[in-house]
Amino acid sequence: MRSLEGAVTLHSAVVSDSPRFQYRGFMIDTSRHFYPLRVLYQHIDAMSYAKFNVLHWHIVDDTSFPYESSTFPEMAQQGAFSPRHTYSHKDIADVQRYARFCGIRVIPEFDVPGHVTNGYLALKPQIVTTCYDVPRYPTGPLNPTINATYEFLDKFYDELKTVWDDKYFHIGGDEVVKRCWMSNPQIKQWMTEHPEIADYHELQNYFTRKLLAMLKQKELQYICWQEVFDSGADLLPDTLVEVWIPEKWQETMERVTAKGYKTVLAGPYYLNLISYGLDWHNYWRAEPTNYTGGVEAEKHGLIAGVEVAMWSEYVDATNFVARSWPRAAAVGERGWSPKNVTDIEDASRRLHEFRCKLLKRNINAQPITNGANQTSPVLFKHHCEEEWEPHYDPVF
């Protein structure tokens, strides 16, 4: 490009680029620790720079219920950490608007029937199962045997579909404590009266069938954690099954795609499982088709994409962004670039350069390697020209 008497001339160029996978997601957890909106906006900026296009918002869980429901306001009043640690309808609209401007869709998760203790206990009548002699669990999943549970869900989703722009909802379905159901006298009596429900896995399927029928009637689509598939539930053909258990993700991907369901792979991309050293290598090398039938599954569009997961047991507004970036970009590249991009040394250069660009944009991304460079032959400057500095004015 050159300038001549105020004119600007651009030499033409053709860039041919497209994503390998349609779904490139990042899951955040605002239940175990609350993230202020300014942190969410900064994170969305970083996502857009790394070509992520889905923010999976795990907004509530056992630990807290920060969503301000207009239909059931008592859930946040009792379930949030404090009145300041909540998201209003306006907050959610602002986040969705900002994300949409950055080319990112926001898919909310309201996990059921498990992970529901905090907030749901405020409801009357009570729809959370009381556990009997189950260590660590005084209360458990939603009670799938009473009408009040489905009456609540019907009203709740009527509200949610007016708040969230996306037609997809993540329904959860993971880690249901079935021992709690098994211990409850009322549920045991119901099971006796309904012999067609053979066991407690089928009881979860019974709940899932009723919930999915409700969502279909409301013209909503859904994503679920892999346990919903594992339990043998009747899933709609366009179901997205999220595979998350790290130890056996390849086996699960094989089973899910063999049944013709689309998948989102998160299992090898859990950023909250930090380790000492170059852990981003593990994420970058985790090839989504690396299982029996994986190449054919990709060819037929059954691998929708990949998703980073950052659970927040030990992450809050002070370290969420730094711990996520630039490590997440390794997964972003795996979701975008062709399969034959396998040069880890070249990736190291690019990831370091990306980290420097994040710092210049005031995103406090952590370093990707030992500054002394004693274990890698990669030849690049390990310190960016402009390191990030926190905005702090000391008071004397």
Active site members: 175
Strand 221-225 and strand 168-170: the pairing is parallel
Q: Which two tokens stand for residue 195?
A: 């012999």
- Helical ranges in the chain per DSSP H: 37-49, 74-79, 89-101, 117-120, 147-163, 178-183, 185-193, 200-217, 226-230, 249-258, 280-285, 294-299, 320-324, 327-336, 344-360
217 burial (CB, 10 Å; 0-12 / 13-18 / 19+) is: exposed
What are the start-end ranges of the H helices in 123-240? 147-163, 178-183, 185-193, 200-217, 226-230
Name the token pair of 123.
Answer: 């409801």
Cα–Cα dist 225/214, whole Å: 18
142 DSSP 8-state letter: E
Residues listed for the chain: 396
ω into 141 cis (within 30 of 0)? no
Give the helix, strand, coil percentages of the chain, each rounded to 5: 35, 15, 50
State the angle between helix axes of 344-360 and 37-49 in degrees (0 to 180), rounded to the nearest 10: 140
DSSP letter at 87 equals B
